Every structure is written in structure tokens, then in C-alpha cells.
Amino acid sequence: MARKSWIQRENKRQKLELKYRLIRRSSKKKIKMSKSKVSSLSESEIKEIRRKLQSLPRNSSPIRLHRRCFLTGRSRANYRDFELSRHILREMVFACLLPGATRASW
């Protein structure tokens, strides 16, 4: 079981990421368009956009998010399809609780 403080920290990061998602995407899109020479942004405008991006909270970046196990909160060895860690996934497969998952036997 993961510490509750770690889980709460992750929840806080998810909320921040949702809050600043549109600002971050629009700023990055403007910078990308300026590099392709389609828009006519000057260097100072690009610097201002980057400064705006840097002023956003660090925890609002989607890179800082981690997947966690749905049941235990474990941050490592998670399977995307089931949202479970490997320990819980193995227990549930052996108990035949996951449809479509079969255990290895030879």
C-alpha cells in the first residue's frame, strides 16, 4: 500500500495539469507555429511566450504525472489495460476475476 501523502500529491498534480492544460497547449502550439515560419512572430514575442510557460507551476506539467495502481496506489509495474500493479494483477488472474486474462500453464 502506498503512502496516502503520495497518493494525495499525485491527485493534486492531476488537478493542476487539468487546470493549466489549455494554457500550456496553446503556448506550445504558438511556439511550434513560429518555428515553421507560417506565423510572423518576432523573437521577443516568442521569448514572452516561453516566459509565460516557465511561470506555470512545475506540477502542472503532464510529464510529472505517474500511473498508480487502482487498488493499492503502487506507482511501479502498472499495466495500462487493467490499471493494476503486477502483484494485484497476478492475484486476480489466479482467482479468475479478470475477463480475458489467462494464466500461464505448461
Coil, strand, or helix at residue 83?
coil
What pTM did the predictor assign?
A: 0.69
Specify the pLDDT at position 84: 92
Mean pLDDT of the chain: 87
**Exposed, middle or buried by CB within 10 Å (0-12, 13-18, 19+), for 101?**
middle
CATH number of 67-106: 4.10.830.10
Q: How far apart are CA 18 and CA 40, in angstroms?
A: 30
Coil, strand, or helix at residue 69?
coil
8 Cβ contact partners less than 8 Å away, ≥ 6 residues apart: none
pLDDT single digits (tens) 16-68: 999 999 999 999 998 888 877 666 778 888 899 999 999 999 999 999 988 88
Specify the pLDDT at position 7: 86
Query: If pLDDT is split at 50, 70 and 90, which confidence band does 104 have?
Result: confident
